[in-house]
Chains A and B, each alone.
Chain A
Amino acid sequence: MGHVAVMNTQARVPGPPLWLLLELTYRCPLHCVFCYNPTDFTRTGPELSTEDWLRVLREARALGAVQLGLSGGEPLVRDDLELIVAEAHRLGFYINLITSGVGLSETRIAALKAAGLDHIQLSFQDSSKQMNDFLSSTRTFDLKSKVAALIKQYDYPMVLNVVLHRLNIDHVEEILNMADRLGAEYVELANTQYYGWAWHNRDQLMPSRAQVERAEAATKRFRERIGRPMQIYFVVPDYFERRPKPCMNGLGSIFLTVTPDGTALPCHAARMLPGLEFPNVRDSGVKHAWFDSSGFNRFRGDDWMKEPCRSCPEKARDFGGCRCQAFLMTGDAANADPVCDLSPHHHLVTEAVANAERPRPAQQPRPAEEKPLVFRTPANSATLFP
C-alpha cells in the first residue's frame, strides 16, 4: 500500500509559482464599477516598503517565478516602481505593468524602459470618451490615448485591455478599431468576472446572451479582416457557459499574489475564503506561504472536492472551477463552481443570466430609480463595506 501516498495528489510537491502578481497599492485614480479589488480595501493595512517588495521578488524568483505582473490599484502611484522594475529585471523576470495609464508621463515611461520593463497592459473602459469617463468616474480617455502613443514610441509591446459588460459590450467593433488605430499588438476583451466591486454591481453589468453573441460575431469579423498581426483574446463570460473555467489552473498551482499589505494569496480574490491562513510575507516569507500555509494547500490536488466534482472525469481539466465563485454563490468554497451545469447550484447562475434578459436600456447608464452602480471609491468602501 506504499503507493497510496504517491496517488494522494495533496502529497505531491507543488511546482514553482510561475506567475507572481504584486498588487503594489490599492490606491487608484480611477473608480471603475467592475474592479475586482476587494470592496473593503480601505481596511487593508499599510503598504509594504520598497525593501519588502524587493525581498518578495528575490524570494519568489528563487522559487522559480518568472512572469511578473505589477498591478494594483494603480501601480504608478508608487514612486518606487522604477526601483522594483530594475530589481525584477536584474533577477530575470519578464515584467508586465498593468496600468490605467494615469501617471505614465514620458519621463517615467523612459525610466521604466531603462529599468527593464518588458510590456505594458493599458486599460480602456470603452472606445468612446463619454462611456470611458463615465465607467471610470474620471476624465481619462484623452490621457489614455496619449499614453498609448507613448507606449508605441518607446517600443513596448502593447496589450490593450477592455473589461466588457452590459454598458460597453455593444461597442466591441469600435473598441477593436480603436486598438488597431493605437497600434496594439494584443487586445484582451475580458468579460467581467464577478468579484469585488463587479460582484456588488453584477445585476447592472451582466450582458444579455444576445449581446454576448453579437460581440463574439463582431470579434470574429474583425479577426478575418485585420491585415496585420494582432492577437485578440475574447474572454468568454463564464456565466454563459456550461462548464467552469480552470480558474488559476487550480489554486496553489502556478499563481501567487501579494496584496499591498503583504498578504500572500493563491489568487487576487482569495482573501474572502474563510478559515484559511494567508501568511503575511513580512512575517514569514514567500516560501512558507507557498509550501506550508493552509491558504495555498487547502485546494491543491483534488482531495478537497465534493460531488459532483469528486467523481467527474473532467475534474483534471477544470479543477472544479473557481473556489471564490463557489463560495460567493453557495457559501461553501469546496462546492462545484455553480457555472457547471452539473452543480446543484447551477440555477443561481441561470437566474442571474435570466435576470439580464429583462428589457431595459442596454447602452446608457441605467435610470436613476434602479439600484445605482457603486463606484470603487475610498468613500464607498469605507461607508458601504466597513
Chain B
Amino acid sequence: MDDANPISGASIPAIDRRFRLQWEAAQNAHVLLYPEGMIKLNTSAGEILKRCDGKATLADITASLEQSFGASGLSGDVFAFIAMAVEKKWVTLPS
C-alpha cells in the first residue's frame, strides 16, 4: 500500500475515517479517538495531525509547522511521522 502511495511533498494526508482527532483540555493534549479507544498524542504529533485536513499538501504542512515554531528543516521529521501514521492507519494518503 505504501508503494502505491509514496510520500512526497505533494501528498495530501487526511485523518482516517475510523479515527477522530480532537483537543482535550483535561489532558492538555490532542487525542485520536476510535471505537472504545484513545491515543494521547505528544505535542509534535498533535501539531502535525491537526494540519492533516485532506486539503493541505505535506509541503504546506511542513511550511506551516516551520512558520509556527520558528524552525527550519523539519521535513524529514514530518515525513517520518506521516509514514508511521500511515503504517498505523491513523492517516490516509488519497491519490
Q: Could you list which residues of chain A lie within 8 angstroms of chain B, going by C-beta atoms? A: 16, 18, 63-64, 66-67, 69, 92, 94, 96, 118-119, 121, 157, 159, 185-186, 229
Contacts and interface: CB of A to CB of B under 8 A. Distances in A.
Nearest to A18: B38
Contacts, number: 44
A186 B36 CA distance: 11
B22 A159 contact: no
A64 B33 CA distance: 14
Interface in B6-42: 17-18, 20, 22, 24-27, 31, 33-38
Given A185-B18, A229-B89, A96 B36 contact: yes
Contacts of B89: 229
B18 A157 contact: yes
Contacts of A118: 20, 33, 35
A157 B34 contact: yes
Given A16-B26, A229-B89, A66 B20 contact: no
Contacts of B33: 66-67, 94, 118
A9 B34 CA distance: 31
B35 A159 contact: yes
B38 A119 contact: no
Contacts of A229: 89
Nearest to B20: A94
A229 B37 CA distance: 17
Nearest to B33: A94
- Counting contact residues on chain B (CB < 8 A from A), the size range is 10 to 19
Contact of A66 (B18, B35, B38): B38
Contact of B26 (A63, A94, A157, A186): A63
Nearest to A188: B36
Report the 6 A-B pairs with minimum CB-CB distance, sorted nearest first.
A64-B26, A94-B33, A119-B35, A16-B26, A159-B35, A157-B18
Given A118-B20, A157-B18, A185-B18, A67 B27 contact: no
Contacts of B37: 67
Contacts of B24: 64, 66
A18 B36 CA distance: 11
Nearest to B26: A64
A27 to B, nearest CB: 23
A16 B25 CA distance: 11
Contacts of B35: 96, 118-119, 121, 157, 159, 185-186
Given A64-B24, A66-B26, A157-B17, 11 more contacts: A64-B25, A66-B24, A66-B31, A66-B33, A67-B36, A94-B34, A96-B35, A119-B36, A159-B35, A159-B36, A229-B89
Contacts of A16: 26-27
